[in-house]
Structure formats: structure tokens, C-alpha cells
């Protein structure tokens, strides 16, 4: 256990390796109740969120979800989030745990005087992510709902554990599955039922390895207020041309000029594990810094991400990683390293 974002969080239950393999080969579950949950309702909810989020919120249909970023007026990433449209005038925003307070403050800064009501429901609604190739089948049996018919980035409300729950076909592992949101007082019962059904409890350690294999950025490591979505490879989630979008002007300039650097994936071709903060070198010159790095149990290789000048971002470019004073060879690889359909 370790403190994280104001919560006591499990790093691992068994071993990080065993938990990661369970998710890739069967089903694992993560208590992600530390993530923020903010409900925005009212006739002005869509217009309000459209000023803050990177994508066109009014175009989001009921029952659908969209990934995006919240940027400051300079284009820096305050957080990356998922927004769900639950009804005509009802949205659910899920920010990261470490940034939840900052996001809530940012929303409050731009909130209109009327037309949109913001309600922080983090403590009311628990959140358990069930991920892996068997996740849908297991949840299907528990909900008596044809979850296999629910498409990715959709959300449905179904009976569960004697009450009602929101099930979103989203996740942070590169595997199929659902993120289950239900009343907090039902969370323990669901956890125990999932354990009995053969789902492996997993901690933050496995979650970090899995998201890195899937090429998914972690705020505080790979993205933050000093990075913009175009250099982070998130430009496809940004529509800067909307009127009233608070980061629109800055992001249009960055998009039109092109970023000076890029977030790359790399694999270690020499022996060594890249870690956050290690220098990325080209010969004798430092050209960047590792933002995330780990052993990949799925691919049986050492992988990482980091920012380098765009001229060094082409696939196959040879680099060196300074691992405690020892230069270890690495090669640029396209992200993601792993997906359900392909891997490096």
C-alpha cells in the first residue's frame, strides 16, 4: 500500500508480473475509485464543457464517451479525462486522481452563472475497472445484460448488486473490459463477487506497466502543464477551431506551426531498464529525457517513452539511454507497443 492522490492505494496484491499476465490472459480488476467523478447537468452543460474540453462536446451523443484533454490558455495539459454523456443535459467527467482538485477548481473558474450545475460525486460513486479478454463474459453473467453488444466508448446503466450501475466500455490497459461505477456502499460486494468469479485483484504497479505497453500517457510523467497535446501525440483528440474554446488560440498556433518535439516510444536493444528522468542521448548530446520506462512482461523486453526533437522521432532511429552513467542502445518504435491486434 502507498499514498496516492490523497488515497491509500494498493501497489500490488500478488506480484506485478502475475497481475499483468492475468489481465492480458484472463481478467483483472482495479479499484480506481480514487479517480475523480464530476457530474455536470443543466441546459448549459454542453456549452460549458465545450469551452473547457479539447473536443466538440455538443456533438457527443447520449450513451457515448470521449477521451480528451483539459488545456490552459497556453495549450498546456492540465489533465487528460474521459467525458460521458448520460442524458440530454447530464454529463459525467472523470479526471485523474492527482489532478481532480485542480480540475474542479478550473471548472469552477470558467463555470457560467447559470445553466450548468457541477456536483462532485467522487465519494458517492465507487469505480472498479474489470479488464481482460474474459472481462465482458464475466460481467455479462453478473448483470444479465448483453454487454458484448456495447461498443467501445459507450456507457450503459444496468441492474447490478441489487441496485443500478453505470458500465463504460473504457479502460487504461489496452485490453477489452468495462469500468463499473456504482454506489460506494456496494463496492465491497462487487469486489468479492468478482473475486469469486475468478477475476484477479490488481494494483497500481500492474496498471502502470499495462498502460505503458498500450502506449497510454500518464499525467505527471508523460504529459503535464508544460506539454501540449500535439507534441504528446494527442492531436487527434483536439478541435481548436471552436468559438469560445479557452485554449483554442494557443493550440491553433501550435498545430499550424508544428511541434518542436515529439513523445516517442522506444525499446531497449541493449541490456538495461529505462526509468523516468534518465537522459536520452544521441552520441554525446542529450536530446531528451525518459518520461516512463519499465520491463514489459507481455513483450519480454524493456520499453519506454520520452520527448525528443521531431527530427529524432522516426521509427528505427537509434538512441542511447543513460542508465546510471552507462549508455544503453535503444531504438524508436511506434506506439502502442502492444494492442489486442498487434504488438512490437
Structure confidence by residue, pLDDT tens digits, 201-245: 999 999 999 999 999 999 999 999 999 999 999 999 999 999 999
Give the residue from 147, 161, 177, 211 showing the smallest Cα distance to 26.
177
Take residue 41 and report the three cell numbers written for it. 447537468
Give the residue from 182, 180, 177, 127 showing the smallest Cα distance to 152.
177
- For the chain, give the mean pLDDT: 96
Average pLDDT, stretch 262-290?
Answer: 98
Q: Please say if the pLDDT value at position 113 is more than 80.
A: no
Average pLDDT, stretch 54-78?
Answer: 97
Average pLDDT, stretch 45-66?
Answer: 96
Q: Please say if the pLDDT value at position 282 is more than 90.
A: yes
Q: Please say if the pLDDT value at position 344 is more than 70.
A: no
- Please give the helix or strand (H or E) that residue 66 lies within, else none: strand 65-71
Average pLDDT, stretch 289-304?
Answer: 97
16 contacts 206 by C-beta, under 8 angstroms: yes
Q: Please say if the pLDDT value at position 342 is more than 70.
A: no
Structure confidence by residue, pLDDT tens digits, 320-333: 999 999 999 999 99
Q: For position 340, what pLDDT does the model report? A: 86
What is the spatial distance between Cα 298 and Cα 106, in angstroms, rounded to a whole number? 38
What is the spatial distance between Cα 125 and Cα 37, in angstroms, rounded to a whole number? 8
Give the residue from 123, 128, 202, 203 showing the smallest Cα distance to 161.
128
What is the spatial distance between Cα 301 and Cα 280, in angstroms, rounded to a whole number? 18
| pLDDT tier, 72 (very low <50, low <70, confident <90, very high otherwise) | very high
Q: For position 262, what pLDDT does the model report? A: 98
Q: For position 122, what pLDDT does the model report? A: 96
Query: Coil, strand or helix: which one is 93?
Result: strand
Backbone angles phi, psi at 256, to 5 degrees: -70, -35
Structure confidence by residue, pLDDT tens digits, 129-182: 999 999 999 999 999 889 999 999 999 999 999 999 999 999 999 999 999 999
- Domains of the chain with bracketed CATH: 2-212 (3.30.1360.120), 260-344 (2.40.30.110)
Q: For position 343, what pLDDT does the model report? A: 64
Amino acid at each position: 500500500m502507498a499514498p496516492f492522490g490523497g488515497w491509500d492505494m494498493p501497489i500490488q496484491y500478488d506480484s506485478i508480473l502475475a497481475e499483468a499476465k492475468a489481465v492480458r490472459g484472463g481478467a483483472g480488476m482495479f479499484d480506481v475509485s480514487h479517480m475523480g467523478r464530476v457530474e455536470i447537468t443543466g441546459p448549459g452543460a454542453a456549452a460549458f464543457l465545450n469551452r473547457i474540453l479539447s473536443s466538440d462536446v455538443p456533438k457527443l451523443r447520449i450513451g457515448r464517451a470521449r477521451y480528451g484533454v483539459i488545456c490552459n490558455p497556453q495549450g498546456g495539459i492540465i489533465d487528460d479525462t474521459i467525458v460521458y454523456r448520460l442524458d440530454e443535459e447530464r454529463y459525467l467527467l472523470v479526471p485523474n486522481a492527482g489532478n481532480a482538485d485542480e480540475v474542479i477548481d478550473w471548472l469552477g473558474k470558467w463555470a457560467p452563472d447559470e445553466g450548468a450545475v457541477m456536483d462532485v460525486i467522487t465519494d458517492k460513486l465507487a469505480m472498479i475497472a474489470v479488464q481482460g479478454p474474459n472481462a465482458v463474459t464475466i460481467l455479462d453473467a453478473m448483470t444479465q445484460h448483453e454487454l458484448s453488444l456495447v461498443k467501445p466508448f459507450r456507457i450503459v446503466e444496468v441492474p447490478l448488486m441489487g441496485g443500478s450501475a453505470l458500465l463504460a466500455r473504457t479502460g487504461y490497459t489496452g485490453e477489452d473490459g468495462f469500468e463499473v461505477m456504482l454506489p460506494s456502499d456496494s463496492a465491497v460486494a462487487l469486489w468479492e463477487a468478482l473475486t469469486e468469479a475468478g477475476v484477479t485483484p490488481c494494483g497500481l504497479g500492474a496498471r502502470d506497466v499495462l498502460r505503458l505497453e498500450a502506449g497510454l500517457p500518464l499525467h505527471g510523467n508523460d504529459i503535464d502543464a508544460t506539454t501540449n497535446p500535439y507534441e504528446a501525440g494527442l492531436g487527434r483528440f483536439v478541435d481548436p477551431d471552436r468559438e469560445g474554446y479557452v485554449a483554442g488560440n494557443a493550440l491553433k498556433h501550435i498545430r499550424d506551426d508544428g511541434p518542436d518535439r515529439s513523445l516517442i516510444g522506444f525499446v531497449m536493444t541493449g541490456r538495461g531498464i529505462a526509468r523516468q528522468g534518465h537522459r536520452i542521448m544521441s552520441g554525446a548530446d542529450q536530446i531528451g529525457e525518459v518520461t516512463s520506462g519499465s520491463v514489459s512482461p507481455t513483450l519480454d523486453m524493456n520499453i519506454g517513452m520520452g520527448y525528443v526533437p521531431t527530427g529524432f522521432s522516426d521509427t528505427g532511429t537509434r538512441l542511447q539511454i543513460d542508465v546510471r552513467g552507462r549508455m544503453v542502445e535503444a531504438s524508436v518504435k511506434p506506439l502502442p507497443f502492444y494492442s489486442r491486434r498487434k504488438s512490437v
